[in-house]
Structure 1
Amino acid sequence: MTATTATSNRTTASTGGTPALVVVAHGSRDPRALSTVRALLDRVRALRPALPVHLGHIELNEPLLPDTLTALGDGEAVLVPLLLTRGHHVRRDIPDLAAAPARTRVAAPLGPHPLLVDALHARLTEAGWPAHPGPDHAVVLASAGSRAPASRTDTSRTAALLAARLGVPVVPAYASAATPTVPEAVRALTARGHRRVAVASCFTAPGRFATQSAAAAPWIASAPLGTHPSMAHLLLHRYDRALGADGEENAPKGARGESTCGSAAWARPATTEPALAR
């Protein structure tokens, strides 16, 4: 990061005393992921032009989160994970990386939440999901996976919310670190008589896990969540909740009555897990 960029970020972060929103992405070797995340941040900026919005990565891509926080200087910031469950990165890596700045807080991950289900449903519809599915339809909710029990709980809750929305069985499955795998879940649903099994891509951006999961679909597979408008609204909702804003009154449609696990979090996991290659 150049000195000019750092100075510009410090100026932006302190404008009007508004805490900056720092979106924390995992990072990926797939170049499509970075361009997707940047486009999503542009959507967030369009929704709230006065809010300073920055990007920081846990690994693999620049800017890395510590560099983003250094550039913000003494400015207050809310870190919103662009992650969907309470896995190792949310519960340990991000708090560790944000431990030094005194004016930083960490928001909850994006799932489970009705706005996340909005995006999942929309992506399935784009892929060919019918308006009125029949008894032979079912969905595998493909997620990255984690050894953290809380992460699997969150994915299961998202699957339950999506099942209620679609009116069909939705089985959570994982690309790594947990079972069932996506192919195993597909086979189980097929054995139960479901001839139209779709794979819903519960990934924020394109990458290896999303590609592998889609390849296991016997029928249709949805695209990653990407720049869907509900994702931009959800990032802002998590930011507001972390600041203690009145989320119920100001939340966009779909955000009220959410099932979540708190706003700002510094929790530590009971177990650790290796970093997952993306």
Structure 2
Amino acid sequence: MGHTFLAPQIVTCANLKGLVMKQLENKVAIVTGGASGIGKAIATLFVKEGAKVVISDLNEELGNKVIKELGSDVAVFVKADSASPEDNKKLVDTAVEKFGALHIAVNNAGIGGEAATVGEMKIESWKKVIDINLNGVFYGMHYQLPEIEKVGGSIINIASILGQVGFANSSAYVAAKHGVVGLTKTAGWEYGTKGVRINAIGPGFISTPLVDNALDKDALAYLETQHAMQRLGKPEEVAELALWLASDKSSFVTGSYYPVDGGYLAK
């Protein structure tokens, strides 16, 4: 009597692709300052992992370029000033109107500001940095939280290593980023039983337009030596942590601060 041999089923990458659930499938996110640098890297990774994203920035040209790259079916751009409460509300309204809900918010928009000592910094320069880098995060959270609370989700505030230590000639930036960390911890406690996790990321010096355009080659080379890895970070390296904090994989994480700094704070 003959034997019947069954050919083994071949599982191809194409087969697996349909079986693997993306980490942010069916989620809706806001990413401020998403036209370049860290914000763009985060928005790009979120879309790759299944999210629909509302991107904001003041640079309309770059913002629309990002939407063209990602696809208008999964991403929308809104020109918005993070220092404006009304613009922050508009972002939340857009997310709900376009995609039906809001699950994730990344408050990333920020500026470096004037380089000067405390005694020499212009009052208007101080106010501008605080308004964008700190007040802007509060305004964002103020409107994001009620919507995210309805469905559960995550808020990620982009602080800085300078949310932990000082840095000469950057008092407004340092003060704002320290404030972001404190705001994050407080909100983490307030919403710990309300289904919203709130965390902060502290990037080291990352190779972005904000850093690269502000400093000359010698200054950049010096900054590299201040990191244990002897290099600047990449926006994509920050985005990976943002993805983890946005996903259910970080379900027991809230009110925390996570540096992505190549060892800068280890000194």
- TM-score when scaled to structure 2? 0.36
More helix as a share of residues: 2
Higher relative contact order (CA 8 A, sep 6+): 1
